[in-house]
Chain A
């Protein structure tokens, strides 16, 4: 409480966020401890950490789906004024770790959900949805139900659904975790392509170091044990599209591996 808090400048600013879950037997589970992260406007920030270090919890707090036990999260609006996050809202879009598509809706129905909730006309919703379905390369699958799609396609629907709602901030939670290596690299390239086509602020969570290096402007590493803490912040000043065998790429990769006890 005594720490001087400078006026937050970034798009998303987490200041001293801690989270402790209370489980059934009144047992306290500390999940996040004093996490401070700042994401700049239109930046692609990657949070890199091993399993169960509170990455999803941090994203859910920023999304407004969980409240931090201590600390706060502010989000700069389109007008540049920072406001504290008190609940979920369409200014942030979250791509869930599981796909979380609506099984009773087609691809089109899933993607146009956001515009429909905003009360746009049916034709307008369809037009927006079609645009983003095309952007993620799923044209021709508009009338398919989620169970008729592959894992990678489902994930793309999840991404299109969030994009169609035009959030100022995209939050992606290990979106490619369940994909095979080949599809994964393809999806990473697509993500960069889409991000370059539609400049947005992106906060991307992953446990994969190569994915982090391929995507991020900056990488925030987290400690591997509970409660999760921020370890180091790395700048990745490499031109896109990035090359996995580039010398600088490999140097930063080694630096991160040496610094964290991530055995990869």
Chain B
């Protein structure tokens, strides 16, 4: 009894509640660790029980790691792992940049100008529902199997979300904010410069984020069809060699790299719009 009271009084400065086992079990880092451990253990267990003779189509976590180390040290089609990562990233960045530089201004112009809207919208509505992957074959016919066709697919796949979000960003601007500018003596140019652009910035960035994940989907699809480098190529090679560890290693690396580019965009947005309230979670 007396010891527990003493415990409570010493803790009371920071937190009144004592550290019971129950509370430790509920803390976030602990639950994260439990969740991850269960996932990897379950995976390992499944892989072991499926492949008793070592011919499992599900690699064990450590085998995946070993495959990645192997790719890191040894060349596959004249490139080590970093080279393949860079090959894919380069395609994504080039395609993404081309699409963003084209689509965002077009989206803004469509929202701001009726004539531009009337000219572009029917074409856009015609091409919008076409899945970007469906362009792969035609782009190979047009551009061959080298870089151009892959970049083309990425541009196609990232164009639509970039444009749509820029367009909607402008449409959803609070109209009274334009009135404020007009009351202060501003003209149409001031309205666009001081209200339209900054107000649609968050929506444009949301579009860029969606585009970025779309770009990774597209680069992977393009590389699966035909490539001599890139993360998709690693996956195809793994498949051809019946090496599940290599396939899953490629998948894991894509996830990490794609996540990295997303973080980069988030950091850029934080830097460019400091007014945005930080949204917790996710």
Contact = CB atoms under 8 A, between A and B. Distances in A.
B260 interface: no
Interface string B172-189: 001011011111111000
| Contact size range, B | 20 to 34
Contacts of A100: 174, 176-177, 179-180
B179 A65 contact: yes
Given A100-B176, A147-B277, A89 B195 contact: no
> What is the interface of chain A mostly: helix, strand, loop, or mixed?
loop
Contacts of B190: 117
Contacts of B273: 104
Contacts of B183: 63, 65, 88-90, 92-94
B195 A102 contact: yes
Contacts of B277: 147
A103 B275 contact: yes
> What is the interface of chain B mostly: helix, strand, loop, or mixed?
helix
Contact of A65 (B182, B198, B199): B182
B274 interface: yes
Contacts of A147: 275, 277
A96 interface: yes
B182 A104 contact: no
Nearest to A88: B182
Contacts of B176: 96, 98, 100
Nearest to A164: B184
Contacts of B198: 102, 104
Interface of B: 174, 176-177, 179-186, 190, 194-195, 198-199, 201, 273-275, 277
8 contacts: A65-B179, A88-B182, A94-B183, A96-B179, A104-B198, A104-B199, A113-B181, A146-B275
The 4 A-B pairs at the shortest CB distance, nearest first, are namely A90-B185, A104-B198, A114-B184, A88-B182
Given A65-B179, A104-B201, A147-B275, 17 more contacts: A87-B182, A88-B182, A88-B183, A90-B184, A92-B183, A94-B179, A96-B180, A100-B174, A102-B198, A104-B199, A113-B180, A114-B184, A114-B185, A117-B186, A117-B190, A117-B194, A147-B277
